Structure 1
Amino acid sequence: MDATAPDEHRQASLSQNAHLGVRGRLHHFTWAWFTLTMSTGGLAVLLDRTPHKFRGLITIGTIVFIFNLALFLCLVTAITIRFLLNPNALRRSLIHPTESLFFPCFWLSMSTIILGIQAYGVPSSGPWLPVVLRVLFWIYVACTFLVAVVQYYILFTGEHLTIHSMTPAWILPVFPVMLSGTIASALAADQPPDQALPIIVAGITFQGLGIFVSMLMYPLYLGRLMGDGLPAPDLRPGMFISVGPPAFTCLALIGMANSLPSGYNFFSTHPYSIEVLQTMALFIGCFLWALSFWFFCISAISCINGIGHMVFHLTWWAFVFPNVGFTIATIDIGTQFQSQGVLWVGSAMTILIVIIWCFVFFHHVNAVRRRKILWPGRDEDKEG
């Protein structure tokens, strides 16, 4: 056999790919692209929640929110075109051991849109919008619970993953339904008591589901780190996913406790229970915040150690979204304790999140331009 044949074949393949058009590149448009919109939507929510606002910040947040809506529509259009041009691509994307883990990012993007509508739409709209958000909440809960069940079933029965390949991305299928609690904490305050209480009960129920499934995953993750060491430098930003579950649970517990309808139903006969639950939520939130902070430190040190060896992947957006939850949780704790020191820390973290978002967005655009992603063999749909 001619020894130069593989090289010639590789050169021919590269030459063919060099002329890959938009249609060919869209063939590799994966669910992982929705990490962009879940992070951008999270940034918009954070700008609304940051404690030290300057004039025009809400306008900036509104622009970011609208920009995220436009991005989301573009991404939905692009992935729809991919599935229309390649009829079997949808099924393959949902059973692929890597790409399928990013399908929940679509739903996480939806959660940030709902939160953004609450933050920027409700204050300037009529009473009809809270009703719409209430309907969206229940649809979201039903769909994401179905995702959490079906996707894990597919992972359990499909191409098996090994503990040596374990990453925090294994948490992602339950992440969207876990954010039901975060959404409930934001929506409940503007709902009538007879609607707010069911929303809070659903929120605490599925927030509990999400955090407990995450807790079951953490020993596998830590065991993988102890046995095999850190992931490759390119994949280390994904370690920040582990920051998200305790952080979002912290802010959800505090928010839902503060939105409990006083004088209604159970709380009319147990009037002091609200104060008790608010105190419990705050201290349990501190407990969870510490776990989130520990994961943050481990992830940050690991990424710093890998600087210089990192090539952009869409998992870089994990620099943003989980840390949005961590920042809002810090702000909520500072607000409850009336600590200006903690609130200033939250404001400083907000500035860092904005800088990191700009950094990742620049590298994202540059990676597309330089064919580092959206290219054969370089995206989450690759085999092997």
Structure 2
Amino acid sequence: MGFLTAVPNQDPRQIVRHFTPNWFAANMGTGILALMLALFPYGHWGQKLLAQGLWGINCAFFVLFSLLFLGRALFYPNSFRRLFEHPVQSLFLGAIPMGLATIINGFLIIWPTNAGTVAWALGLWWVDVLLAVTSVLLVPFFMFTRHAHSMERMTAAWLLPIVPPEVTAASGGLVAPHVGIAMAQTIVYLSYILWGISVLLAMGVLAILLLRLTLHKLPHQDMAVSAWLPLGPLGTGAMAMITLGNADPAIFAGSLADMAHFAELAGVMVALLLWGFGLWWMLMAIFFTLRYLREGLPFNMGWWGFTFPLGVFNSATYLLADKTGFWLFLPLGAAFTVLLAFFWVLVTRKSFAGMWSGQLFRAPCLSEETGLPQTCGDTPAGRPDLISTLRQ
């Protein structure tokens, strides 16, 4: 628990009590940067070692964040339950399976593939399936029944709980070629179902988002970085189509061989279409960000939205370069990796400054946007002695 005691002027109990799932966005951003560094096509300056180091740090922080999140659930159950009713913080529950997916992919991309890494990737993939399905079912249910939402206050953050299934599907396409045929078929079929759930829901949200931006203009500065979030479902949707298409021919044979060939070719075409749509969103996000910078852009954990959406779009670019051989994709992918690294350094530096000051350890159970009180209003559920041990 050295991390807790290293933050000045912060009661470790309050760090646990105020811990929110948006911290897992740091896992998403760090993990995707590690993967993109491992795939960087130019130069031999040790990026593989750097990718392995970042991946290891990402794993350590994922474990720490998971313990803090479970600690809040165990010791502060009242505020933990209220997290699900919060119209903004609850959306970040989807960051947990997406952060885990970067660790799964790292076993197969960053490290040499062997029986051990495949076993870890397969086991964690099933955990990721459970978390992704929980996110895509539970959070929308609360949105439909408990949250207070309106068109004017809608942002691309609505995508966060529904994107995890397609992220898991993309990982499934990486895992499937390394396991037995029966298991691989199960993974691929399930991944296509997860893709259908997530991408189609995301397209509906994007249509609403276009209407919201047209009618009500840009959201508040606190949600400025959400302009980059549409790159997430479009990038991972394209990734999944290619990784699953790559896995299909080796898995399906006999009467399904024609379907496997079609799926591989169709996957590339669908990925191209999604990539083109993503390019438009990326350019719009750049324009929006430049406008926000003129008005002032306050830092919050949402700034990690600069990283993962760009990173998965970057990954789709590399995959398209490999599948199509089109000359533009590879240098564009390298440029996106450089931009991703710049964003990661910027956001990491600001995150550590926010942790040091304690600013980032104040999680509202009720957001400012709702105009309601911002207190979690509970006690350690009869476990003060256990909580006090966190001080050590």
Fold-level similarity (TM above 0.5): yes
Give the aligned partner of residue 110 of structure 2.
Answer: 120
| Pairing partner for 2:311 from 320, 324, 328 | 324
Conserved 8 A contact 1:178-1:207: yes
* 1:258 alignment partner AA: N
Give the aligned partner of residue 48 of structure 2.
Answer: 58
* 1:285 alignment partner AA: A
Deviations 1:144-168 (A, max 9, x none): 2133112211121103211111111
Give the aligned partner of residue 267 of structure 1.
Answer: 253
Q: Does 1:305 align with 2:291?
A: yes
Alignment of 1:195-206 (within 5 A): 195-206=183-194
Alignment of 1:1-384 (within 5 A): 21-52=11-42, 54-123=44-113, 125=114, 127-262=115-250, 266-269=252-255, 271-308=257-294, 309-375=296-362, 384=371
Q: CA deviation at 1:81?
A: 3.6
Gaps of at least 5 residues in structure 2 are 1-7, 372-392
Give the aligned partner of residue 374 of structure 2.
Answer: none
Conserved 8 A contact 1:373-1:379: no
Deviations 1:44-82 (A, max 9, x none): 122223333525221111100001011112222333344
Conserved 8 A contact 2:249-2:261: no
Deviations 1:212-238 (A, max 9, x none): 001111122111111111012231111
Conserved 8 A contact 2:59-2:103: yes
Conserved 8 A contact 1:30-1:380: no
Conserved 8 A contact 1:233-1:307: no
* 1:364 alignment partner AA: S
CA 255–293 in structure 1, closer or farther in 2 if over 3 Å, else same:
same
Give the aligned partner of residue 9 of structure 1.
Answer: none
Of 374-383 and 109-118, the range deviating more from structure 2:
374-383
Q: CA deviation at 1:174?
A: 1.4
Using the aligned pairs only, state the percent identity: 23
Q: Work out the CA distance in 1 between the residues paired with 2:316 and 2:346.
A: 23
Q: Work out the CA distance in 1 between the residues paired with 2:140 and 2:51.
A: 35
Aligned residue pairs, count? 363
Q: Work out the CA distance in 2 between the residues paired with 1:273 and 1:19.
A: 61
Compare relative contact order (CA 8 Å, sep 6+) and give the higher one, 1 or 2. Answer: 2
* 2:353 alignment partner AA: N
Q: CA deviation at 1:284?
A: 1.4
* 2:275 alignment partner AA: W
What's the TM-score, normalizing by structure 2?
A: 0.85
CA 383–83 in structure 1, closer or farther in 2 if over 3 Å, else same:
farther
* 1:252 alignment partner AA: A
What's the TM-score, normalizing by structure 1?
A: 0.87
Gaps of at least 5 residues in structure 1 are 1-17
CA 285–323 in structure 1, closer or farther in 2 if over 3 Å, else same:
same
3-state SS of 1:306 partner: helix
Conserved 8 A contact 2:248-2:263: no
Q: Work out the CA distance in 1 between the residues paired with 2:50 and 2:9.
A: 40
Q: Work out the CA distance in 1 between the residues paired with 2:281 and 2:275.
A: 10
CA 130–165 in structure 1, closer or farther in 2 if over 3 Å, else same:
same
CA 272–178 in structure 1, closer or farther in 2 if over 3 Å, else same:
closer
Conserved 8 A contact 1:42-1:112: yes
CA 275–83 in structure 1, closer or farther in 2 if over 3 Å, else same:
closer
Conserved 8 A contact 1:32-1:380: no
Q: CA deviation at 1:321?
A: 0.3
Q: Work out the CA distance in 2 between the residues paired with 1:379 and 1:239.
A: 23
CA 379–314 in structure 1, closer or farther in 2 if over 3 Å, else same:
farther
Q: Work out the CA distance in 2 between the residues paired with 1:37 and 1:207.
A: 22
Q: CA deviation at 1:268?
A: 2.4
Give the aligned partner of residue 12 of structure 1.
Answer: none
Deviations 1:263-322 (A, max 9, x none): x5x532354544433222112111110111111111111011111411101111110001
* 1:130 alignment partner AA: V
Q: CA deviation at 1:371?
A: 4.1
3-state SS of 1:373 partner: helix
Find the structure with the greater CA-based Rg.
1
